[in-house]
Amino acid sequence: MKRLLSSVICVGILLSTLSTQNVLANESAIKSHVVESGGQYEKRGYILEVINEVDDPAIDPIISEFVELYFDVYPKLVTKYAADPKTATHKVILKFDPTYDGVAYADAGAGMIVVSSKWILDRPWDLGLFTHELSHIVQAYPRYDDQTWWITEGIADYIRYEYGPHHEGWKFREPKETDNYNSGYGETARFLLWIEQNKNTKVVDILNKQMQQNTFHIHDFEEITGQSVEDLWAEYILNPYVKTKYKIKTE
């Protein structure tokens, strides 16, 4: 009788253990998968709310790719570039607007990104623009003016290059005679990459923090590298080679 009772107890403990493991496994599976409800997607504490004002089914697979990219990239950007990852917004609103005639823009204060539906429908490969705009959300710089716009956009395109996704339609190019360090976007991003590879590997991290703290000054380049930004640019123009690596999916 004692052996039988002992066997029953052991079986009961085993079943209880297996049940607990199944519950934990199910909870883990739920956390590791995106949960969608009414245009709002959630995974591991991050939320993406999608507002789709486009009456074209061709936008649906594009939205799916944006959602996948958000959960793959945005948490990494928060960890790496947010002033305080703990207090940085974990919710972003993504709106596809058929009336917007630009490309895309971010409102960091509202945690919103607006994408021109015409642009992305014509160029469905241009998913990297979302990484660029997500960068602006985590940058959350207090200034965006004639003195700072170029470094803001340059860092955002640097981040786009670092995190992708990549495509043949968007790559860095060597500088032209008409370019300058403050040309912004890809031109400034490539220059920052050159400084990173030749002068100071922490240049983007330092500039990002200075911009967030509203202490950035053009003379900071000299403190970071030992050379003025003008001298750096002159040296860059003479030998603009940078190592680049693009992970491009084949169609």
118-167 per-position pLDDT tens digit:
999 999 999 999 999 999 999 999 999 999 999 999 999 999 999 999 99
Model confidence at 67: pLDDT above 70 = yes
Tell me the average pLDDT across 58-82.
Answer: 98
Q: pLDDT averaged over the chain? A: 90
Tell me: the pLDDT tens digits for 165-206?
Answer: 999 999 999 999 999 999 999 999 999 999 999 999 999 999
User: Can you name the residues that pair with 48 across neighbouring β-strands?
Assistant: 41, 92
Residues 176 and 192: their CA atoms lie apart, in Å, by 16
- SS3 string, the chain, reads CHHHHHHHHHHHHHHHHHHHHHHHHHHHHHHHCCEEECCEEEECCEEEEEEECCCCCCHHHHHHHHHHHHHHHHHHHHHHHCCCCCCCCCEEEEEEECCCCCCEEEECCCCEEEEEHHHHHHCCCCCHHHHHHHHHHHHCCCCCCCCCHHHHHHHHHHHHHHHCCEECCECCCCCCCCCCCCCCHHHHHHHHHHHHHHCCCCHHHHHHHHHHCCCCCCCHHHHHHCCCHHHHHHHHHHCCCCCCCCCECCC
pLDDT band at 29 (very low <50, low <70, confident <90, very high): very low
Q: Residue with structure tokens 């005639």?
A: 101
Residues 225 and 123: their CA atoms lie apart, in Å, by 38
Instruction: Give the pLDDT score at 50.
Output: 98
pLDDT band at 20 (very low <50, low <70, confident <90, very high): very low
Model confidence at 24: pLDDT above 50 = no
Residues 113, 104 contacting (CB under 8 angstroms): yes
Instruction: Give the pLDDT score at 237.
Output: 97
Instruction: Give the pLDDT score at 32.
Output: 61
Residues 191 and 181: their CA atoms lie apart, in Å, by 7
Residues 125, 169 contacting (CB under 8 angstroms): yes
Residues 154, 203 contacting (CB under 8 angstroms): no
pLDDT band at 33 (very low <50, low <70, confident <90, very high): confident
Residues 189 and 132: their CA atoms lie apart, in Å, by 11
Instruction: Give the pLDDT score at 250.
Output: 63
Instruction: Give the pLDDT score at 146.
Output: 95
Instruction: Give the pLDDT score at 215.
Output: 97
* Cα torsion through 81, 44, 92, 250, rounded to 10: 80
Residues 93, 110 contacting (CB under 8 angstroms): yes
- 1-15, 22-36, 170-184: which has the highest mean pLDDT? 170-184
Residues 236, 175 contacting (CB under 8 angstroms): yes
Instruction: Give the pLDDT score at 15.
Output: 42
Instruction: Give the pLDDT score at 117.
Output: 97
Q: What does the block give as tokens for 223? A: 């403190």
Q: Residue with structure tokens 């190592």?
A: 243
Give the range among 7-16, 179-188, 231-240 with minimum mean pLDDT.
7-16
Instruction: Give the pLDDT score at 249.
Output: 72
Residues 42 and 56: their CA atoms lie apart, in Å, by 25
